[in-house]
Structure 1
Amino acid sequence: MILSILAATPIVGALVLALMPRGATHSSHLQAKAVALGVSLVTLVLSLVVLARYEPTRGGYQLTEEHTWIQAFGAHYSIGVNGIAITLVLLTTILVPIVVLASFDDRLPDPKGTNAYFAWMLAVEGLALGAFMATDAFLFYVLFEATLIPLYFLIGSFGGPGRSYAAVKFLIYNLVGGLLMLAAIVGLYVVSSRQGDASYLLSDLKNLDMGQNTERLLFLGFMAAFAIKAPLWPLHTWLPDAAKEATPGTAVLMVSVVDKIGTFGMITWCLNLFPEAADWASPVIITLAVISIVYGALLAIGQDDIRRLIAFTSVSHFGFIILGIFAFTSTSMAGSTLYMFNHGLSTAALFLVTGIMVSRRGSAKISDFGGVQKIAPILSGVLLLAGLSSLSLPGLAPFVSEFLVLAGTFTVSIPAAAVATLGIVLAALYILIMYQRTMTGPLAPGAEGVTDLQPREIAALTPAIMLIIGLGFFPQPVLNAINPAVDTVVSHLGKSDPVPKTPTPISAQTTDEGGHE
């Protein structure tokens, strides 16, 4: 029951906020914010209880619950967590309190919308937690699609001047992907019903005999939805617009939490249900992932809008994650899962600290800043650390995950790993150029209003910064949870890690009959 309680807590909190009286007074707004923060902290505590009960050495799904839901076509309310799922559950429950606290001073188009604003945030949390824990394909699909609703309203009702266009574009792209997945879900029902009782349980679907063509078609349905959500080039174009118009907190929930459902789905559903099709499609997907890495980084360099820059950096980072998944080695896949967690932290810090800058300057253009470190040294320091984390500086959390992805990929595709490594160089360019233009040099006209971080903002950002530094030096606790789940997936794919080639010792070289080499 603990997992059900965990997912239900933020949903109940959202309903409470929706039913609370709306008001334009400071006290009514403060009450709504306090309720949202309290619910998110309770959810975090519950996730820590789940973590305490989870046994990494056992592997497999734990704390499982299973109940018949829609008997007519074999759908179950079935949830559980393995090492991959619990990592993303923790990421979600850590980030939401940070987002809520950092969003206290967000300027909303309608001041009376405070209750709805934080209610939708809690709804995103509850639905995302459900998606990460679902072990029934139909339940996963419902939750996967349901996350679109609160995000649509968060972008469309509370975003910037172009919020309506961005929200509709976000919704259309993701609905198209959802429809393709729905067609694949129907296909799974047909295949499973022909081989016995229809079932959407992950444990049952893994054993289906689909036939090559059927498996490949169903894989493409799932993969298209996940590639849009992730997002993978060339299906990424909704993200920069959505990130630009969303509030910083909404952007964090979208990129750091909900988009991870896409890469999580690739591992949990695509690789487990369609191993042959995944192997068949891997060369194309690896190519697209490498293009995403380089393309996203190049476009980030050319951005003058800070929010679009961060969005394109995420396109590049998701390319690394997808590359590691489809390299099919335990090292690269463990790196990808760890990257999901670490990217969530670093991107959250970047979106939130730049959101504070944009709010105080009244502009998101990099060219409107300059010399800010002179008047806001703490803000400048946090931006530098978040930026260095995003470019995977050694000693910060993303470095370990990026290294594992590249190390694992090198053993199976040297060209892909070599080109992907270029993304690290480009990352240094777009981060350091952005920092130099906004923080160093003479103070730009109009930038005088960018005051330093306040105690509440420091309190919101501190947990993310501490985790970025802590996991940079000691990632093993997270990897201990991830590795058994990853090994299970790699084994199911029928893959094994390539043995590194070592030079032949001179003494073992072939000699002629006279004893000469």
Structure 2
Amino acid sequence: MLTFAILLPFAAAALLAFAPLSAGASRAIAVATAALALLALVVVWARFTPGAGFQAEMEIPWIPALGVAWRVGVDGISLPLALMSGLLFVAAIAWPMEREVNARQYYAWFLFLEGASLGLFLTLDLLLFYVFFDLSLVGMYFLIGRWGHGEAQRAALKFFLYTLAGSLLILLAIIALVLMTDPLTFDMRDLIALQPVAGMDLRAGLILLGLVIGFAIKTPLFPVHTWLPPAHVDAPGAASAILAGVLLKMGTYGLVRIAMQMMRETFATYALAIGILALISILWGSIVAFAQENLKRRIAYTSVNHMGYAVLGIAVAGSAVTGHEAARDLALTGAMVEMVAHGLITGALFLIAGAFWARTQDYQLGHYGGLAGNAPRMMAAMGLASFASLGLPGLAGFVAEVQIFIGAFAVWPWLAALALLGLIVSAALFLGMLQRIFFGDRPPVLDDFTDLTRTEICILAVLLALVVLIGVWPAWLLDMIGAGATLTFGGG
């Protein structure tokens, strides 16, 4: 099932790339393909046993001399991210195009990106992880560069070069890590069990440095985040939803799966430094977001803030502080819930931002106002997503952040206290955004502003219903994630 979920989007992308199909047929094929891939993941989820380690495994030798194989499988860390990614791709592909040009190629690149994204979360081979990591850059580069607006080509190039530089650091670190094994193996399960650099100082520190910088660029963390705002502003709304909801999680997932799981001793040594970097990103992201007058740039900078929370949870979980094992497990669970919640919430926010652009070709907050009467459904959707993003109880963001902060207070209370300031600024920036867009006087140019269409409502309803479900009844998600976190760290 996992191999099917990865290869089906690639096959459909190849079909759309070369078959002379209409825009409507291309969209129907793309939506059906993404839905089938998601269905395959749901089947795996239905058979999943929390706490039982890697499951649904499959292995086919590829380069035996190097220990490389087609290896796939899921655990409580990867399965929730794969499910969230599969759902977001269905939503993004079904979302109306902002510019109806080259629809066949547009949907082909979306499916190509889906195959690469699911492959990264589902593979158990470190070399294939790197291959899928790089392939995701190609798909997003073309979606931004060809279907974006403004300075889209420049933004796409900056995105590609930044993240390619990070991926090269990751490749060097992976090679150095694998060379410590005998016989050579790229099997993630073996590397987690072997801990190949345990007890080493300088070499292990350099390997971890390469991984942290590379994944920090992808996440992104301060100060290597500057590629993110222009990429979001100039990308189509649907591409922004995938960039924020899926691609950013590749960085935090890599920190967990490779840096923390395969290098526990070294990660613990530098966990506090990583936690401080996360704190800076939390505060910087929220403060800079508050200052933005461009709707998409404001949402983009909140991703720096929210992914900072996720990295803070990861740093706490990987720390060497003894006597707080339960708190560390809780922090990791919170970090994983934060990744899922951020994907759903910010994905919805970027889709809504795309709806604004489709109607006005304008992101400037100062040009809006008084839209509550014209677009009550849009106001409701954006209001719910915004309140979830600022951490309102009863919504998914709160479930994630309360676990991160409880874990952080147990391990590094001063760090957690400072990070709380980010929540205050986030509340101000989202409430101010809603007030400026939907209340006050409406400019005459917006008199004909239309509300969400039926298609847009249905897509947002699914995403936001999950945000509410996780906030009200999180047990089903916490059991899946928490068992994986406890298995990995609580016992070892």
Q: TM-score range by the shorter chain?
A: over 0.9
Q: Is the 8 A contact 1:374 1:443 kept in 2?
A: no
CA offset digits 1:287-345 (Å, max 9, x no partner): 11011111110111111111100100000000000000110100111000011101101
- Counterparts of 1:442 and 1:166 in 2: how far apart (Å)? 34
Tell me whether 1:461 sits opposite 2:460 in the alignment: yes
Aligned counterpart in structure 1 of residue 53 of structure 2, from 51, 57, 60: 60
Tell me whether 1:98 sits opposite 2:102 in the alignment: no
Q: Is the 8 A contact 2:195 2:264 kept in 1?
A: no
CA offset digits 1:335-366 (Å, max 9, x no partner): 00011101101001111112111221221100
- Counterparts of 1:162 and 1:139 in 2: how far apart (Å)? 33
Cross-structure match for 1:85 = 78
TM-score, normalization by structure 2: 0.95
Which AA in structure 2 matches 1:91?
A: M
Could you tell me which runs of 5 or more consecutive residues in structure 2 were left unpaired when the two chains were aligned.
318-327
SS in 1 for 2:58: strand
- Counterparts of 2:483 and 2:412 in 1: how far apart (Å)? 24
Q: Is the 8 A contact 1:188 1:200 kept in 2?
A: no
Cross-structure match for 1:503 = none
Could you tell me which runs of 5 or more consecutive residues in structure 1 were left unpaired when the two chains were aligned.
23-27, 495-517
- Counterparts of 1:52 and 1:107 in 2: how far apart (Å)? 38
Q: Offset at 1:45?
A: 1.2
Q: For the pair shown, which has the larger CA radius of gyration, 1 or 2? A: 1
Aligned counterpart in structure 1 of residue 293 of structure 2, from 304, 309, 315: 304
- How many residues are paired up? 479
Q: Is the 8 A contact 1:396 1:469 kept in 2?
A: yes
SS in 1 for 2:180: helix
- Counterparts of 1:450 and 1:117 in 2: how far apart (Å)? 27
Q: Is the 8 A contact 1:271 1:489 kept in 2?
A: no
Q: Offset at 1:252?
A: 0.8
- Counterparts of 1:75 and 1:185 in 2: how far apart (Å)? 13
Aligned counterpart in structure 2 of residue 123 of structure 1, from 102, 112, 115: 112
Tell me whether 1:405 sits opposite 2:398 in the alignment: no
CA distance 1:491–1:214, change in 2 (3 Å): farther
- Counterparts of 2:332 and 2:449 in 1: how far apart (Å)? 41
Which AA in structure 2 matches 1:38?
A: A
Q: Is the 8 A contact 1:357 1:450 kept in 2?
A: no
Cross-structure match for 2:275 = 286
Moved more, 255-264 or 445-454: 445-454
Map residues 102-181 of structure 1 onto 2, 5 A cutoff: 102=95, 104-108=96-100, 111=101, 113-181=102-170
Tell me whether 1:446 sits opposite 2:462 in the alignment: no
Q: Is the 8 A contact 2:282 2:304 kept in 1?
A: yes
TM-score, normalization by structure 1: 0.91
CA offset digits 1:181-201 (Å, max 9, x no partner): 111122123222xxx211111
CA offset digits 1:135-171 (Å, max 9, x no partner): 1111111111111010010111111120111011101
Which AA in structure 1 matches 2:42?
A: L
SS in 1 for 2:372: helix
Tell me whether 1:261 sits opposite 2:253 in the alignment: no
CA distance 1:208–1:374, change in 2 (3 Å): closer
* Runs of 4+ deviating beyond 3 Å: none
Moved more, 408-417 or 202-211: 202-211
Q: Is the 8 A contact 1:361 1:449 kept in 2?
A: no
Which AA in structure 2 matches 1:46?
A: A
Q: Offset at 1:448?
A: 2.1
Cross-structure match for 2:323 = none
Map residues 345-364 of structure 1 onto 2, 5 A cutoff: 345-364=344-363
Q: Offset at 1:249?
A: 0.5
Q: Is the 8 A contact 1:256 1:344 kept in 2?
A: yes
- Counterparts of 1:223 and 1:167 in 2: how far apart (Å)? 23
Q: Offset at 1:40?
A: 1.1
CA offset digits 1:106-154 (Å, max 9, x no partner): 215xx2x111111111111111111001111111111111110100101
Alignment RMSD (CA, Å):
1.2
Q: Offset at 1:449?
A: 3.2
Q: Is the 8 A contact 2:2 2:72 kept in 1?
A: yes
Moved more, 314-323 or 61-70: 61-70
Cross-structure match for 1:190 = 179
Map residues 7-22 of structure 1 onto 2, 5 A cutoff: 7-21=6-20
- Counterparts of 2:67 and 2:97 in 1: how far apart (Å)? 47
Cross-structure match for 1:387 = 386
Tell me whether 1:324 sits opposite 2:313 in the alignment: yes
Q: Offset at 1:251?
A: 0.5
Aligned counterpart in structure 1 of residue 215 of structure 2, from 202, 221, 226: 226
Which AA in structure 1 matches 2:458?
A: A
Which AA in structure 1 matches 2:290?
A: I
Aligned counterpart in structure 1 of residue 224 of structure 2, from 199, 216, 235: 235
- Counterparts of 2:40 and 2:125 in 1: how far apart (Å)? 23
SS in 2 for 1:86: helix
Q: Offset at 1:208?
A: 4.2
